[in-house]
Each structure stands twice: as structure tokens, then as C-alpha cells.
Amino acid sequence: MKRIKFLLQIDKYLLPILFCMMGISLLVIFSTTKGVDVSLASSLVCQQLSWFALGGGFFVLGVLVDYRFWYRISSFIYIVMIVLLFGLFVMPSVQNVHRWYRFGPLALQPSEGAKIIVVLVLSVALDRWRKGLDSWKRTLQLGAMVFVPCLLILRQPDLGTTVVIALVSLLQFYFAGVRPILLRFFGYAALFSVTLLSLVFLKIVPFTLFKPIATMFIKEYQYERFNPEGYHREAAQTAISLGGVWGVGWGNGEFTSYSWLPAAHTDSVFPAFIEEFGLLGGGFVMLLCFGLVFLSIRTSYVVQDFFGQMLALGVGSYFAVHILLNLGMMSGFLPITGVPLLLISYGGSSVMVAMFALGLLQSIYSRRFMF
């Protein structure tokens, strides 16, 4: 009964946001795939429903278990994550990439779980080393904790997930007050990178200029995603423009439903939704997404312990980075690197991890008066 009490004390604004996002996900998945095969569309909707149901179990687990329990076993969880990421390279590749463990019809993608595990482990480390965060020793240790999983994920290759983990970690370092000179260095590096990308996308700098250097670190097909004239980028912008202000109506989006928009039910759900529901619908989706970020920030303000604060801010950063990257990619401001729009894009691993992250957040919120 005591644990059920915490389940009843979750943030009252969360569930309406969550159910709205689930409903939008099911609408987009069906409408974007029915033009190819109605039976396939129904199958994908049923599969997504099953992921939501399983994710609901992870959400309840996150709420019922005291978030400080994960503090005690964080080292073990980190080691398991590294072992799973290493183990992918001894498994048969799928389409020349090493991202999944296959169990019959099911697939497990450890890199999705690594996102929230890194958030958890960093929150623990930042709490334990709170008094020495301005030292180079602690800074290098924190950097190494992030670098190892990022390197393994980049070698899969999975550039999008690597970028997400790196950005979320930097935000956690900033919130905790890790050595400012290091944050300034990475801040300037990020600004420099964004400036270069902008010059490439504006066609001021030739797209091929950086190819010899870039392909030393990433695959050639990954570099092609930076092409300002790439089909996926142009198709996403076309879908958005076709939607106008009001949209063409649910199920009437011919551009997305007949596969002219790549990955319309996965990474490209945002432009697919705008084609049918217009910019007003897109604005509603953005409001829901950033509502999750707001709830995370609010939780960080009401919780009493530093670990809880860092964990809540880490979860908020996890959602914020996904949202900004996905919307930026689909709007033509960023290269398309395969970052899903959490809880709306089709997918099992991302849904379960996102639901567990929300469960962690609510575990913090429901226990905010225990200190």
C-alpha cells in the first residue's frame, strides 16, 4: 500500500500529456502506412500499442521503485551497459550495422537504454564528487564515463545516439557546475560546428569540402546526410509546406501515405503530422513535447537532494535534446541523423526507455517531501 501511495502522487499534468502523445503516435503510424498496405498499417498500430503497454509497465516500475535504489546499483548498471554494447560486435550485423540483439521477432537496442543509463550514472557521480567538480581529475573521470559508451555507439555506427548522449551529458555538466573552462571549450566547439553546418546548408561552403576529414570518423553514407540537397530533407520540408496552416485532414496526406516521405512513421512523424493537421497541429505537438521538459525542470526545483535534482534535469535534457534535434532535422536546420521524436515515433526500445525515464521523474516528484 505504501508504494501504491507514491503511484497516486504523480504529477497530475503528466498523464494527459502522455496519452495525447500516444494517441498522436497511433494516428500518424496508421495514416502514413495505410496507403501502402492497410493490413501493414493495422499491424504496426497494434505493435505500437503493445510497446506502449510494455512501456507502461516500465513507467510503473520507475515510479514504484525509490529512485535512490538506482543510486546504489549504478556501477553495476553501467558495467552491464558497456558489456552489452561490446557484445553487439560479436553478433551478426543487420544491414551492415551492429545495433540490435535479435530474439525471434523481438529486437533489443542497447544504445537506446544507454541514453538514460548515462544520465543516471552521471547523476550519481556528480552527487558523489560534488565538492570536487572544479578539479581536472574529476572532470577527466566524468568525461571518460561518457566517452566510452559514445565511442562504442559511434562504431555501430549510430551517429544520432552518440550526439544525443554527448549533448545531454554536457547539459548535466553545466547544471552541476563542472569546470567552467571545459564547458566553454565545448560550447565554442559546438558553436563552431553549428556555424560550419549553417554555411554548408546555405551553400556558402561546398558540401564536399570536409568529406576527407569527416569520413575518417564516420561512414560515408552518414556524411551524405549533411548534403543540403538530400532527398529526405527536401521531402520533409515538402510535407510541412503541403500542410499549410490547417492541414489536409487525417488520412488525406497523400505525400506521406504513399512513401514519398522517408521514414514517415518513425523519424519523420513530425512533418507527416503537419501535412495532415497543419502548423496548428504541429504547434500542439511541440507544446506537448516541451510540456514534458517543463515538468522535468519543475521537479528539479521541488526535490530536496542534489542527486534527485541532477537526475530530474538529466531526464529533462534527454527529452529536450531529442525534441530539438528531431524538429531541427525535419525543419531543414540540422542534418538528418535518425533521432526519433520520443513517444510519437514508431519503435519499441525508444518507447520503453522514454516511459522508464518518465517513471524515474515521477519517482522523484512523488518523494519530494521525504528529506
Q: Is the pLDDT confidence value at 253 over 90?
A: no
Question: What's the pLDDT score for residue 23?
Answer: 94
CA distance 344 to 289: 10
> Confidence class of residue 233 from pLDDT cuts 50, 70 and 90?
confident
Closest CA to 170 of 302, 300, 350, 317: 317
Name the grid cell of 305: 537532494
Comparing 62 with 189, which gets the higher pLDDT? 62
Amino acid at 282: G
Grade residue 135 by pLDDT with cuts at 50, 70 and 90: confident
The pTM is what? 0.91
Per-residue pLDDT, 371: 53
For residue 156, the model assigns a pLDDT of 84
Q: Which sign does the torsion angle of CA 54, 367, 318, 282 carry?
A: positive
Give per-residue pLDDT as tens, 48-60. 999 999 999 999 9
The SS3 of residue 101 is: strand
Task: Annotate 155-166 with DSSP letters as a single string.
Answer: TTT-HHHHHHHH
